[in-house]
Structure 1
Amino acid sequence: MVSNPRTFWLVLLTAAVALGAAATTGPVLGLYAVLAVVTAGSLAHAGVLIRLALRIHRGRRSFGPCRGAGFLGMGALVTGAGAAAAGVAALTGGTAAPGLIAAGAALTAAPTFLLGLLLLPGAAPTTGARLRRVLDGLGIGISLFACGWMLFPAFAPGGLAVSLTCCVTVSVAVVTGLRAVRHRPAALACSGGAAVSVLGLTGLASVLLDHTGSPWPTGPAFVLAGLALLAGPFLIVTGARRADDRPGQPHAADESGTFAGYPLLVGPAVLGAGVAAYHFLTGGSFDRTTVVLGLCAFGAMAGRELLAARDIRRYAQTLVRREARFRALVSGSTDVAVVLDDDLVVRWQSPAAARQFGLSDQDVLGRPLTDLLHPADATTAAAALQSVLGNPAGRSHVLVQARLRDGFGRWRETESTVSDQRAAPEVGGLVVHVRDVGDRAQLQRTLDEVTWTDDQTGLANRRKFVAAVADARATGACGSVLVLELDRFESVADLHGPTVANAVLIEAARRLRSAAGRDDLPARLTAAAFAVLTDAPLVPAFALATRLATALAEPFHLPGHTVHLTADVGVADLFTAATAEEALRHADVARRRAQQVSRGLPGGRVECYDKGFEAALVRRTEIEQQLPGVVGRGELDLVFQPVTDLTLRQPVGAEALLRWRHPRLGPIPPAEFLPIAEELGLAAEIGAWTLHRACRQLSRWRADGRELWMSVNASARQLADAGWLSMVATAIDTHCVPADAVIVEVSEAALPDDVLAVEQLAGLRALGVRTAIDHFGTGPTALAHLRRLPVDVLKIDQALFNEPAGHRGPATPIVDVVVGLAQRLGIDVIAAGLETESHVDVVRAAGCRLGQGFLLSRPDHAEHVEAYLERHRTRLL
């Protein structure tokens, strides 16, 4: 990235204008214009370099990284000052003074530039590296200058000192740029700029010293010198900007030097010797200058050779130390290193082999490595080694576990790391690092015995059980997984304490061992969950599960306590799942299904896994997650089904039916989500919302002149709630509906015990609310109990009057008895589920006056029911 190209182009444009002015106004003005442009360009770039050095110093708080840019800026400053001084001297009328000033500037700027180059970051990081750069440049520069001096005796533009300094400076600059360890493009740019600047000063001094008359010279040499003085500082600024001042990783050449300098010195030395021989053969003589130059070149080369010899000696010592350290590490390592060829034959082994495994070189070298391994492990190990040989690029490291025969004939458990080092010429094979892991394997087996057993019951834990299931699947034999959980086990600790709970678990584990087969594996999964792995197929496994459920259902007789528990068992086939964990999950799904089916029933239940169970379980889980907050989200709705007078075919009331329309799951029937709502404790909230919405709708209809009553369903848990009666009273008062226009329906199957039922139903009657038993004829309520229950309405189920196809005749005796008894007790009867005219005929023949069903009207929203009511004028019940 060029740091400030505008400065260069501005100076270049000024130079072009100055040269154009010189061509039209005269050589004297041209001289002044060129010197002024050179002065301006050098000083401008010197300012950029000095500011860069100051910025680096402020950022790093150190003079080290900024010295290179600083000295380069001082060199550019000397260049500009020299050009300015030469211009002033020319302006005063001197003839030799401008050239001498330019020569002095060249002699001063050259070492300044070289010092800046050697101090640039990455160019020569150490003092030894800087000395090597200087000696290389001295040898090359003096040799080349001596060749020119011998071939061309007048070869000394600008004087001997200036020319020699220029040649040496350019050589050192080029060597420094080419030998840069880091940031080589930046170092080359700075080196080139310094060399061009020194060449420009040397050319300017030569032109001014050689010119003694007037007018002042403005020839091509003078113009080229001016352009060089313009381009040099620009290149230096560009390179200095690109050099990174941050410290980098040390390079090998920083410490040991660079041995690539030998060809650079050999070439000039051979060239100098050849030119000297030619000069001697052609009759030339060697003056004092030639001799001094030769001695200086020889001294520089000798000094460089001494440094190279010291570097080689130090490098050799470093190699010896590294080799000794490597030998110490290899011989003292507990790992055995073995080198194999492409045929897996051992070509070398480390000295640790004799110490660790008692294997001498005579026992190992020249033999295939697989001959030393256990026959059961040799095939697997050979396949792993061949995989490295066959695909080294994609699989260069593998881990091999095998048993190795040691020098005493014992089998040792080993673990080996294989690395492909065939590309390394020092190795040329596979490197196998072998370590003895026998103690670690024994410790692992001991830990497995401890960590794979449940501390409390002595059964296998979940980790061992899953591993056993995986091993059983790997054998391919048939088998089954049983999962069981003790129901209500949490209440044991709450009622009797943790000591009794622990005793129950221990006794349950004993019963599992006794009931399970000899080859079966019982395990404890969680606090009260157990599992059994059996090799029996599904049908015998089902019989085993039944025995386990029976054994765990027996009372736990403990000192001072007797605990009654049950266990639901799920059974799954071992190979219906893809993994061991999935087989365990299948059995647990079947257990949860058995738990749902057996809820409220005595004893445990056994279920086999079916995919439908899992789908139902997933849907139930989704409903459990979505049900909380259903009232607030507005997803519940009510539909209404009219109750009709069967004689007049006119509606006299309506039943409010709850609906849940989920945006993703779709319509969910109440029979599916209401039991879940009761388990989650949401039944009271949903029931209150249903009652208020039904009373509000009833209030609207009665305000419109429709003398109807409304029935609302309630669960047994709602009736058992102490706040239910007050909530019913609040709903009636809030919506201003007559209490006798509200009927609370309770399913016969959901009725609580007689005492509680009488109290709750009597409380509703005390409020003036009528009560009804829904689906009568499907539950356990006896007809004699109707006399004791405060019930106003009886809804008989379709099962009481649904006759077989083709039946003709009067009502069945059952519906006759139910309707007759209800009329004698003063209880109204509603026939629910009327779907055909024959149903209507049956119930009317039995004396039932009211009915509802799809034949009369389907459940619908309030607006559609209102249209139905408009077509039928209602009467009070």
Structure 2
Amino acid sequence: MDGPSWTAARSRPAQRRAPALVVALVVVLLAAEGAAYGTATGTALYFTVLGLAVVAAWAGVSRGGRQLPAVLVALGVTLTGAGDVVWQVQTSLTGSGADLGVADVLYLGSYVALGAALALMARTCHADRDQQVSGWIDALVVFVAALLVVWELSIATTVQDPTLGGLDRVVLSLYPALDAALIGLVVRLLATRRHGERASLAVAVACACWLFSDVVYLLDVDADDLGSLLDAGWLLGSVLLAVAAWPAASRPAAGDDAGHAVSGLARLAVCLGALLVPPTTELVIDWTGGEDAAGAVFTAMVTLTVLVFVRAALLVRGEAAARALVRSRERFAAKLTAHSSDAVLVLSRDGRLLSDPTPLATLLGATPSGLSTTADALRLAGVDTDLADALFARAVAARGRVVDAELPTRHRGEDRWVGVRLVDLSRDPDVGGVVVHVTDVTGRRRAEEALAHSVLHDGLTGLANRALFTDRVGQALRRTVRGGGSVAVLSLDLDGFKAVNDSLGHAAGDALLREVATRLRAAVRADDTVARLGGDEFAVLVEQTGEGDDEALLAAARALEVLARPVPLPGGPVTVSASVGVAVGRGGVAGESLIGDADLALYAAKLDGRNRVQRFEPGMRAAALAARELEQELRGAVDRGEFRLAYQPVIGLADRRVTGFEALLRWDNPRLGPVTPDRFVPVAEAAGLMDEIGAWVLREACTTAAVWRHRHPGAGPFTMAVNVSATQLTSPDLVGSIAHALAESGLPAGALVLEVTETALVGDPGRAAACLSALRALGVRLALDDFGTGYSSLAHLRQFTVDVLKIDRSFVSSMAEGEPLPAIVRGTIDLGRTLGLEVLAEGVEHEHQARLLAEGRCDTAQGYLFARPLEACDAEALLLEEAAARAGVPAIVPLRSAPRALTRPA
């Protein structure tokens, strides 16, 4: 325990012990003083006790913080003691203390001080004005009754004594009158006294002691046999007043009630009892044969009657105010109940309604008629009776402890929830039953359900989100342990969604995702789970009866079929495809692992060209790791300058002259070394990096071609061909990127050839056709690469307008020496010439292939027969050689990597 707390703990018992010790000492001294009354020892003991009382009173004032009532009490004790000292001195000097003097002034001053203290002590206990007035009336009633008694006992005799002067009569009459006033003030103080408060009792007993001594003194001043008793009364009164000045006496005892000790009925009994004093006094006078006091008795009776009437009127008014307050609170509670969302009922232990059923009826929107039992209330609420009975039994068995529950209800065809709080207060006299608090919690429960739905479902499409999908996959896998079968996860990713978002806006993209969600739900079985995992990635959970993947592959095929139909959007209809990865598992496979396998299969499907279904194979993990490694290295490769272009010449077969170049992308990674395009291009397309890389290729190729045309005009006009991937065709930035590259480099649009493959066009033919039209509007030339290897090639020529047909190398490699030109190659050349297109053959590696193509009137060719892909300096050297040849001037050009010499026709 710390210092201050320890000190306070010690000081409180000390404060309580100090007055007790003083009282004990005083009792001993009073006994000794009574035994030695009339002697010098008795006088010394008398003043010793009186001095101790004065010292104790002021010590209490000091300890109590110098409160004004305590100061006045101590002052009263001091004036009394001073009066006794002066009276003793006067008696010693004159031989008699009967004459009036300074002592009487001091005595009367002590009465005034003590009366003021009592008035202050009583006032601090009242807060209401009517209570203050009632307290003063109680004091006046007691004062009048006491004054009538002391009038008959002493004051009347004193007033009628002819031997006393007028001032003597007044002063001697003031003593009992002031005692009566103090008794009235004490009654007023006791009416407001709190349990455990000792000050009021001490002051009351002290005033009673003084009243006794004063009255006896006035009745028989010279009664020697009562002298010690009179001194004891005065001394005990002073000592008790000293005790009242201590703070421990004015503080209620620990654990006592802080309310008023005297009830209203007890105070009324005091007032009514005072009315008995006048007739009782008259009876005593008649019985003893005393002088007639009808006037005093009548005056006292009238005064008391008026005071008691006023007191009763105040009680009646207070009762009316209390009743009005109760009625106001009842109306207040009724209005709160009428407009409250809660209902409070009181039921007996046997289920009878003990309170008004209106709150429950109001809560449920029904009429309260016919409600008398719990069964009626349950019927109205729509609560299951078994649940309600069990809950009621729990509340009764809980013996006063609160029981909470939420019960489902069905009222007027609507599912609702009510919160119920029960507590058995049957033993409480104010309640006498089981209190049932009913609250409609339907709104909260629905909000909780909506919150739970939002936590586990996608906000845009309403499909399950990743957390819910993973949980359901895990549950499905656990079911296969008990019931057999297998679980398939389909991971779907939309092809070209970014282009829709970028070209038509996010609102159109959101509409597309919602439509895709609707179609996927329609394409799978009712018990299959469709989820949106994020962005344009969806997943489907298929629970299969067998262990193969037939059902999963059928579901994937249906998904691709429904997604192939055009989707009407505000910006126009769009067609999207999807890449699908399928993974099958059962038993102890983790849900996250199965979903991860499906993602790997999806990644492989995207690398293979999109718009296809790929089943998971164990080797895909290694391939996926390698692809992700490539993807990480690809990010930032443009900024790090790791890409370069190689240029493969395009040769005219008629004169073997250079007519153009094809720019081929090369990547030299510091960590991985040279990486071929067939490895990194699919990864770049799947990762969405092809737009950035393609833009760099366009800028670099256009700039190089423009510089070469400016430096070597003698080489004649030539073209620069750049490959465009399928993802670039769907990008809304492609046309702008090409226009910017042409403008920045100064290359004529007709010198740029954009090569697209058939597979890049069939993904979204409508969008591809629109993109090719916009490119032709720029003036660039278009080449259809790998012609004849795809499906419906002739249909593509009709739908897509191009300038160049490129015969795939697979057809050229089949041309054997000594055999005629294959029919498919001849047909392609004839088709191109018929349509007015330039025909270019790829992969020419032998002279007989070049000769057959030239004889078949193929326009141009490229391949290792003429030159491998050249570095920029070697390609420029080739242009310099071409310019010299055209001018008929031999050129000596140092080549860093000597290309194969171009074969001129004889």
| TM-score between both structures, scaled by the size of structure 2 | 0.48
Which of the pair has more CA radius of gyration? 2
